[in-house]
A and B are shown apart, each in its own frame.
Chain A
Amino acid sequence: MKKILIALLLISVLLLAGCAKRGEAQIQQNQTNQSGGSQEDQSLGDLFNIDTDKPAEAGGYSVPAAGEE
């Protein structure tokens, strides 16, 4: 009976360890997928970015010389 209990305990530990390992591997896989996808997403997202500053104007050439008239 004792041997059976020990055997069951060992099986349970091994099963748990297996599950944990699979879970870890899955997490790693997910992280890899996420990382790869995010890079593509980032690249596409970066394209939606346009400069909004206005170019230089010629304001300086419209200042009159007081007295010139």
Chain B
Amino acid sequence: MKKLILLLALAGMAFAWTNDALPEVLDAQYDYSACNVQFAKDFVEMREACAETHGETVFDSSDYISDLDDSLADVKDAADDGDGLQFNGAMWTLRAEMLSLGAAVVGDALTNKSADFRGCVLGGTDELDDALESCRSDAFQKGKTAATDYVNNELEYANGQIDDLDGLGADTSGMQTVVDQGEALVDDIGPAFDSEDPAEVSKVYQRHSRLVLLFRLEKMVAVMDYAEPIIEAGSNRNKDELLDDMADLRGDTVDLLDECEYSETVGSDYGLKNLGCWSEGLALMGRFNSLQALYLGGV
């Protein structure tokens, strides 16, 4: 019977909630990256045409372009699959290859080139810039819709979790505060994407990341506060260990909630802070989830 319960619990964990708007979000980011890759390819091609016209030699870009095409295809596959982890990995590779091509272009430009060649490249770049801006603008609009859907889905899911715990009589005020902050964030998504500034978009993402973490930490506290008196009054064989672990975990979770307090203002260290908060938060989540096995093992 216990094995069956554990299996049921594990099965429940395996079918964790997924955000239906994730592929849409990743696809918008893919579009933005595809704009940049297309610009890079067109730029290199235009530069090579200028070199031919003005009798210059430029570096061979064929391997760079081939790598970029392959990496962009990987990004697209990951976006279509809605696989965030694979997407981030493919995007990391693509970013490194774009930087590598950029460095090769800059390095080549620093070698002796005629004024006519330089003028040709500058003239051709203006046209490409317009195409890049237009392409990015479309990607930002797509990203705005996707990000709004994504956060709204999360808010709906979060409200469902609050309702469930409310129904049990748990104190969900901390979770509700984070949801309220999330609703305020939704209002800022549109202006951030409309600014067509990647830095502004990044700020919205960073605030969102912090809120997701804080909601989960608040939920952990709500669950532990609810479960503690029930376990105390019960006869679980792991009762003492459970109560000790929960007390330790609750203290650490409240400390992290303080340390990672939410702010709508995103400074230069916000991203780094998120990284640290998530690192510690994931460790706490692991401890929290391990309570399930300890609890069911003592039934």
Binary B-proximity of A17-39 (CB < 8 A = 1, otherwise 0): 00000000000000000100110
Q: Is the pair B99, A56 in contact by a Cβ cutoff of 8 Å?
A: no
Residues from chain B with Cβ under 8 Å of A60 in the complex: 26, 28-30, 32-33, 75, 91
Residues from chain B with Cβ under 8 Å of A46 in the complex: 9, 12, 292
Min CB–CB distance B231 → chain A (angstroms): 8
Contact residues of A: prevailing secondary structure: loop
Residues from chain B with Cβ under 8 Å of A59 in the complex: 29, 87-88, 91-92, 95
**What number of A-B contacts does a CB cutoff of 8 Å give?**
156
> Which A40-69 residues sit within 8 Å CB-CB of chain B?
41-42, 44-69
**Can you list 8 A-B contacts with CB-CB less than 8 angstroms, sorted by A residue number?**
A44-B231, A48-B292, A50-B289, A54-B282, A56-B26, A63-B32, A67-B40, A67-B128
Contact residues of B: prevailing secondary structure: helix
**B262 in the interface (beta carbon within 8 A):** no
Question: Given A61-B202, A66-B98, A69-B106, do A38 and B1 touch, yes or no (CB 8 Å)?
Answer: yes
Min CB–CB distance B76 → chain A (angstroms): 11
Q: Which of A41, A55, A62 has the most CB of B within 10 A?
A: A55
Q: Is the pair B39, A67 in contact by a Cβ cutoff of 8 Å?
A: yes
| Interface range on chain A (Cβ under 8 Å from partner) | 20 to 34
Q: Which residues of A contact B (CB under 8 A)?
A: 34, 37-38, 41-42, 44-69
Q: Is the pair B296, A45 in contact by a Cβ cutoff of 8 Å?
A: yes
**CA of A52 to CA of B150 in the docked complex: distance in angstroms?**
17
Residues from chain B with Cβ under 8 Å of A48 in the complex: 223, 227, 288-289, 291-292, 295
